[in-house]
Chains A and B, each alone.
Chain A
């Protein structure tokens, strides 16, 4: 993780070890879609997919067709990948370093959404912005703090005061009387 600098143009190629191949990912995605189409088809069987007197095509009619097509296309895609390999020039789906960089944003994002449940969206946003800037963006503390306070404050006034759209709030806002 130490070599990860979002500003750099591209990390040197030799440090990028392949993690997942494009072929594996293609097949995994198609399999996931196949499973999904099976789930939808099962639901359509429950709903019925024929003609219902007085109602026309049943609830499951359209999703059934769609799910069948999706399943067929995914199956065909698996066959295609097994025979001709993955589409595109790059045989690597993601490298370890690349995946690390993705996680470096995705994990804080997940933590952020968890935090919204507990401390409300404004406080969570403040922490998220400030910490993101400091840890991932390597900005200085005062600047990070300033942005981290200013943005949620601006959003607060915009949503709660002007547009009166209530967003999730936590103990901080309750303490302030909201």
Chain B
């Protein structure tokens, strides 16, 4: 195993060097950071966004993609509002970037903190994180339909859905699922982090979760959890076997399974307001290099990410559409807060 890793690493370093050399001519004339770049994570340490940010920090350092170092700063207060307000305040400061998750939409809607994604400069969509419906492997439910029928047949609110945070992506999916089981409802129990949610499901303290693949993969592999369906419009593209007989691609979409719910989470990079085009271009170039590394590809595969990466107007259009979707879902669920002052 060790020899393999070392070989892997050597290859990576070579690949990294090649990319750096290839990129040199373009970087010569354009804007470049002159100070360490602050990378704001509007979430706590150890979560999906944090892991990705620190991973990117590592990839940049390892392959020397940038002369200045990246410093990851967690600003999790108020469901990430603290971090977003910080980026919003970093007007014309090109040394501050942020990674976002769905709380880009849900936090201002759910808490009323005065902030909108339009306050920031969108740089690049890195990937879309998937959601999978999981149950404990000791339960009899083999398909999403089985589970939904069981919830429908059971007493109201006896089935517990575990999720990360409140009025955020996990609960929004839960509310969307509840349309399928009407008039019955889940009891949604919010926890602190995705890892804890998966463990609670393994321990049998909740009946189901909508964990991201990376949070639950190891429990799937060990045989403790069972995936029922994936909340994407198409199946995952990763065909490497995770368990003896299943890969991510073998998980049916929820639509196929007869539970028509779709949801994905943005992993994107933003800068503060009024960023100059050459600054945005620098970061787009940087992330293009990051996404070209083998490390990144492996990371995408481990987490079964949907590798849609948009920038520019396409990204903006996606953001506008997705914000509308969140607003509609949250309004329906009664999650909207009165705007603050």
Q: In the docked arrangement, what's the CA distance between A1 and B264, Å? A: 67
Closest CB of chain B to A3's CB: distance in Å? 47
Q: In the docked arrangement, what's the CA distance between A164 and B35, Å? A: 10
Number of interface residues of A (CB under 8 A): 5
Whether the Cβ atoms of B185 and A164 lie closer than 8 Å is no
Chain B contacts for A164, CB-based, 8 A: 36, 69, 71
Q: In the docked arrangement, what's the CA distance between A166 and B93, Å? A: 14
Closest CB of chain A to B177's CB: distance in Å? 14
For chain B, residues 6 to 49, give those with C-beta under 8 angstroms from any C-beta of chain A: 35-36, 38
State whether A54 and B187 are in contact (beta carbons under 8 Å apart), knowing that A164-B36, A166-B36 are contacts in the complex: yes
Q: In the docked arrangement, what's the CA distance between A165 and B36, Å? A: 10
CB of B305 closer than 8 Å to a CB of A: no
Q: In the docked arrangement, what's the CA distance between A166 and B38, Å? A: 9
Whether the Cβ atoms of B38 and A54 lie closer than 8 Å is no
For chain B, residues 168 to 188, give those with C-beta under 8 angstroms from any C-beta of chain A: 185, 187-188
Given contacts A164-B36, A166-B71, 10 further A-B contacts (CB under 8 A): A54-B157, A54-B185, A54-B187, A54-B188, A164-B69, A164-B71, A165-B71, A166-B36, A166-B38, A178-B35
Q: Whose C-beta in chain A lies nearest to the C-beta of B34?
A: A177
Closest CB of chain B to A151's CB: distance in Å? 23
Chain B contacts for A166, CB-based, 8 A: 36, 38, 71
For chain B, residues 126 to 163, give those with C-beta under 8 angstroms from any C-beta of chain A: 157
For chain A, residues 158 to 175, give those with C-beta under 8 angstroms from any C-beta of chain B: 164-166
The main secondary structure of chain B at its interface with chain A is loop
Chain A contacts for B157, CB-based, 8 A: 54
Closest CB of chain A to B184's CB: distance in Å? 12
Chain B contacts for A178, CB-based, 8 A: 35
**12 examples of A-B residue contacts, CB within 8 angstroms:** A54-B157, A54-B185, A54-B187, A54-B188, A164-B36, A164-B69, A164-B71, A165-B71, A166-B36, A166-B38, A166-B71, A178-B35
Q: In the docked arrangement, what's the CA distance between A178 and B35, Å? A: 8
Closest CB of chain A to B158's CB: distance in Å? 13
Closest CB of chain A to B61's CB: distance in Å? 12
Chain A contacts for B188, CB-based, 8 A: 54
Q: In the docked arrangement, what's the CA distance between A166 and B40, Å? A: 13
Chain A contacts for B38, CB-based, 8 A: 166
Q: Whose C-beta in chain A lies nearest to the C-beta of B70?
A: A164
Q: In the docked arrangement, what's the CA distance between A166 and B157, Å? A: 49
Going nearest first, the 3 A-B pairs with the smallest beta carbon separation are: A164-B71, A164-B36, A164-B69
Q: In the docked arrangement, what's the CA distance between A178 and B187, Å? A: 52
Q: Whose C-beta in chain A lies nearest to the C-beta of B71?
A: A164
Closest CB of chain A to B33's CB: distance in Å? 13
Q: In the docked arrangement, what's the CA distance between A166 and B69, Å? A: 12
Q: In the docked arrangement, what's the CA distance between A178 and B68, Å? A: 13
For chain B, residues 50 to 70, give those with C-beta under 8 angstroms from any C-beta of chain A: 69
Closest CB of chain B to A59's CB: distance in Å? 10
For chain B, residues 199 to 215, give those with C-beta under 8 angstroms from any C-beta of chain A: none
Q: In the docked arrangement, what's the CA distance between A133 and B69, Å? A: 37
Q: Whose C-beta in chain A lies nearest to the C-beta of B69?
A: A164
Chain A contacts for B185, CB-based, 8 A: 54
Chain B contacts for A165, CB-based, 8 A: 71
Q: In the docked arrangement, what's the CA distance between A178 and B95, Å? A: 12
Closest CB of chain B to A54's CB: distance in Å? 7
Chain B contacts for A54, CB-based, 8 A: 157, 185, 187-188
Closest CB of chain A to B66's CB: distance in Å? 14
Chain A contacts for B36, CB-based, 8 A: 164, 166
Q: Whose C-beta in chain A lies nearest to the C-beta of B166?
A: A55
Q: In the docked arrangement, what's the CA distance between A166 and B188, Å? A: 40
**Complex interface bits, A132-168 against B, C-beta within 8 A gives 1, otherwise 0:** 0000000000000000000000000000000011100
Q: Which of A54, A165, A178 is most buried by chain B, counting CB atoms within 10 A of its CB?
A: A54
Chain A contacts for B69, CB-based, 8 A: 164
Q: In the docked arrangement, what's the CA distance between A18 and B36, Å? A: 54
Chain A contacts for B71, CB-based, 8 A: 164-166
Closest CB of chain A to B79's CB: distance in Å? 14
Closest CB of chain A to B53's CB: distance in Å? 15
Q: In the docked arrangement, what's the CA distance between A54 and B38, Å? A: 39
Closest CB of chain B to A6's CB: distance in Å? 39
Closest CB of chain A to B212's CB: distance in Å? 24
Chain A contacts for B35, CB-based, 8 A: 178
Q: In the docked arrangement, what's the CA distance between A90 and B308, Å? A: 72
Q: In the docked arrangement, what's the CA distance between A54 and B174, Å? A: 12
Closest CB of chain A to B181's CB: distance in Å? 14
Q: Whose C-beta in chain B lies nearest to the C-beta of A178?
A: B35
